[in-house]
Homo-oligomer: A and B are copies of this chain.
Amino acid sequence: MHRDGPPHPAGTHGPATIAELADRLRLFAEERDWQQFHTPKNLAMALSGEVGELLAELQWLTPQESARVMVDPVAGGRVRAEMGDVMIYLVRLADVLGIDLVQAATDKLTDAARRYPVERVRGSAAKALDT
């Protein structure tokens, strides 16, 4: 698996952390007087719309094709763009709601580890990271 470069130091090329991204998104909205449109309902709908666009990039692929989608520069670029859009709205929504996304995810993961102990669920088709 390849990564697309090391994280950029803050303030040079762009945000390297979620908090910096959230700040840039907030500034982007404020500069354009768009906060009025950024109610949690609207942001959740926008998030849902972008996830829909992401699924559209994968919907006709077989599971194996989907696993290789990033190899093709055109298809991979489109998937990366949609993932970027999803991240934009998720981070913006979390910022408006005052939620720490990594902490919220970690708390759910801790629950899941408790509900699905390794010995009990190993290899089971019933659940896979279900929270």
* Interface residues in chain A, defined as those with a beta carbon under 8 Å from any beta carbon in chain B: 1-5, 7-8, 13-18, 20-21, 24-25, 28-29, 31-34, 36-42, 44-56, 58-64, 66-67, 69-70, 79-81, 83-110, 112-113, 116, 118, 121-131
When all copies of this chain in the complex are counted, the total is 4
Which residues of B lie under 8 Å from residue A13 when comparing CB positions? Answer: 106
CB pair A55–B44 under 8 Å, yes or no, is: yes
CB pair B63–A87 under 8 Å, yes or no, is: no
CB pair A109–B128 under 8 Å, yes or no, is: no
Partner of A63, one of B28, B41, B51, B116: B41
Q: How far, in whole Å, are A49 and B59 apart by their CA atoms in the complex? A: 9
Partner of A49, one of B24, B55, B128: B55
